[in-house]
Amino acid sequence: MKIAILPGDGIGTEIVAQALRVLEVLDLRFETETALVGGAAYEAHGHPLPEGTLKLAQAADAILFGAVGDWKYDKLERALRPEQAILGLRKQLGLFANLRPALCYPQLTHASSLKPELVAGLDLLIIRELTGDIYFGQPRGRRTAVDGHFPGAEEAFDTMRYSRPEIERIAHVAFQAARRRHRKVTSVDKANVLETFQFWKDVVTEVHAQYPDVELQHMYVDNAAMQLVKAPKAFDVVVTGNMFGDILSDEAAMLTGSIGMLPSASLDRQNKGLYEPSHGSAPDIAGKDLANPLATILSLAMMLRYSLDQAAAADRIEAAVQAVLAAGLRTADIWSEGTTRIGTRAMGDAVVAALTGKAMTPS
């Protein structure tokens, strides 16, 4: 099996290098091949997603992605900006399911904006549909209103839509993920107001009939936003559409307090996926050995679990990360009084040491 490695820009290269060291010590004998993406690819080939990179991503069984982007590319035309590489990969590879776990490690509860007792031990998974909904629905645009409150005025409009197969496939992803966890799915909708989400609710309920061992709960999105900050530990798997998922997954991310800890996966129909940290390329700290590589290392664990059928190796990585945190080692973004502050590479060293059973002395 082959893993495509796309480090990208900014801290992308530093954090992916640490994840690769972790992969190496696991000795799983996967083939890896690295390619340029984002700003780095634009500099070398004039495009953020060159043909060769796309071909490699298409041929691979999984993709480990760092991050792309830099403020210096902000003036480029939109199609050539580094961030277009991600959109291109999602589209070309049919990555329709975005999985974002929000896990609050007991040692990091202070980093959350919520009270420690609300988040200690938090472990929820948000599954966001990624290729449909109001973000992609046609028609959309600007025009002169012919009706509504102000006929004759300039107006803008978008189209919210979901087809049955789109809802069915994301519902299957959610129920199957729940089977690997605590067997509870919360489907988030706005069925009380939107036709699209009444349909969503109906189809999710139908698919649920195939998963009698999984509990299904429906929740309106406004209530879900409230419950996420009131009692986040009541959730196991949350499944929702593209726009609600966009908002709720960022809200859930903040429950854990640090973006440097959050992995993510985007999957296609065959569970082939692109795995990346939830954060960006952090140009402000790039090249300074300050970035937290744990989100990328945990993305590698997700890859092993969801795409490469190596759940035991994934468990080992997650346990090693726990051990490093328990030993009091922290990068700057998660540092607090009484813990030891270390850099990107030393954090990689520590995870490798935890995996190989060596002492975790930062280098």
Catalytic: 246?
yes
- Which of 257, 260, 273, 343 touches ligand NAD by CB under 6 A? 260
Pick 69 or 263: Cβ nearer ligand NAD: 69
Reading the block at residue 171, the tokens are: 């519902």
Q: Is residue 41 a contact point for ligand NAD (CB under 6 A)? A: no
Minimum CB separation of residue 77 from ligand NAD in Å reads 15
Pick 12 or 232: Cβ nearer ligand NAD: 12
Q: Is residue 14 a contact point for ligand NAD (CB under 6 A)? A: no
What's 160's DSSP letter? -
Q: Is residue 16 a contact point for ligand NAD (CB under 6 A)? A: no
Catalytic: 42?
no
Minimum CB separation of residue 11 from ligand NAD in Å reads 6
Q: Is residue 83 a contact point for ligand NAD (CB under 6 A)? A: yes
- Which of 16, 62, 63, 67 touches ligand NAD by CB under 6 A? 67
Minimum CB separation of residue 274 from ligand NAD in Å reads 10
Biggest alpha carbon distance in the chain?
Answer: 72
Q: CA-CA distances (angstroms) from residue 299 to 47, 69, 73, 148, 322?
A: 26, 19, 26, 47, 15
- Please, which residues have CB within 8 angstroms of residue 318's CB and are 6 or more apart in sequence? 298, 301
Q: Is residue 68 a contact point for ligand NAD (CB under 6 A)? A: yes
- Which of 33, 284, 309, 315 touches ligand NAD by CB under 6 A? 284
Contacts 24+ apart (CB under 8 A), 43-52: 46/80, 47/80, 48/80, 48/81, 48/82, 48/83, 48/84, 48/85, 48/88, 49/84, 49/85, 49/88, 49/89
What distance in Å separates the CA atoms of residue 318 and residue 145, rounded to the nearest whole number? 54
Could you tell me where the beta strands, DSSP code E, fall in the chain? Answer: 2-8, 31-34, 62-67, 97-103, 123-129, 141-144, 154-157, 184-189, 215-220, 237-240, 263-267, 273-277, 329-330, 340-341
Minimum CB separation of residue 344 from ligand NAD in Å reads 8
Catalytic: 272?
no
Q: CA-CA distances (angstroms) from residue 37 to 6, 54, 64, 262, 272?
A: 6, 9, 12, 21, 19
Q: Is residue 351 a contact point for ligand NAD (CB under 6 A)? A: no
Pick 83 or 168: Cβ nearer ligand NAD: 83
Minimum CB separation of residue 21 from ligand NAD in Å reads 16
Q: Is residue 281 a contact point for ligand NAD (CB under 6 A)? A: yes
Pick 86 or 355: Cβ nearer ligand NAD: 86
Catalytic: 230?
no
In this structure, are residues 61 and 303 in contact, taking their beta carbons and an 8 Å threshold?
no
Minimum CB separation of residue 260 from ligand NAD in Å reads 3
With contacts defined by CB under 6 A, name the span among 41-49, 118-126, 199-207, 273-281 that binds ligand NAD.
273-281
The label of the residue with tokens 């988040």 reads 119
Q: How far apart are the first and last CA of the chain?
A: 33
Q: Is residue 86 a contact point for ligand NAD (CB under 6 A)? A: yes
Q: Is residue 262 a contact point for ligand NAD (CB under 6 A)? A: no
Catalytic: 236?
no
Which residue of the set 158, 184, 233, 246 is catalytic?
A: 246
What distance in Å separates the CA atoms of residue 263 and residue 65, rounded to the nearest whole number? 11
- Which of 61, 166, 236, 333 touches ligand NAD by CB under 6 A? 333
Which residue of the set 70, 133, 189, 190 is catalytic?
A: 190
Phi-psi region of 296 (alpha: psi -120 to 50; beta: other; left: phi over 0): alpha
What's 154's DSSP letter? E
Which residue of the set 123, 135, 184, 268 is catalytic?
A: 135
**Residues within the interface to ligand NAD (CB under 6 A):** 11, 67-70, 83, 86, 259-260, 276, 279-285, 291-292, 295, 333
Q: Which residues are catalytic?
A: 135, 190, 222, 246, 250
